[in-house]
A = this chain, B = another copy of it.
Amino acid sequence: MDAETLARRCVEAMWEEDRASQALGMQVIATGECRAEVSMTVREDMVNGHSMCHGGMIFTLADTAFAFACNSQNQAAVAASCTIDYLRPAQLGDVLTAVAEAVHQGGRSGLYDVIISNQEQAIVAHFRGRSARISRPVIEEESA
């Protein structure tokens, strides 16, 4: 199986089980080796009274894209540490897209950058995640 197909299968398997990302209405836009793109529309239950999106929802979108990217080589990995820098607010109704890419993927630890933009391509936040592999596959070898 080539790297792109393997990445897609890993993300499909993760997505199937990821009730949190599903409940937030996320959509997987693209997958690939050590990268992933996920979008989410800012809903009523994600904002405050000023219609501004909770920072945790923006982080969660980025974290999902990060997880899909760092698990895409069929070596299960978990987030060890993440940093987010907020540049501008997201509003009710905005369609946010998080694009995750590996800055570095070593044998065990990885460093990934995720850029979160709105529907006008304005950058909402920058996220940097550190992953650690945990010595098991994402999907069964047979299906891989």
Known contacts: A48-B14, A85-B128, A128-B83. The answer to whether A57 contacts B20 by CB under 8 A is yes
| Interface, chain A (partner B; CB < 8 A) | 14, 16-23, 44-50, 53-57, 59-64, 67, 78-87, 89, 103-104, 106, 109, 111, 123, 126, 128, 130, 132
Pair A48/B60 contact, Cβ less than 8 Å: no
Set of chain B residues within 8 Å of A56, measured between Cβ atoms: 20, 56-57, 59-64
Set of chain B residues within 8 Å of A132, measured between Cβ atoms: 109
Set of chain B residues within 8 Å of A103, measured between Cβ atoms: 85, 126
Pair B50/A60 contact, Cβ less than 8 Å: no
Q: How far is the CA of A83 from the CA of B86 in the complex (A)?
A: 12
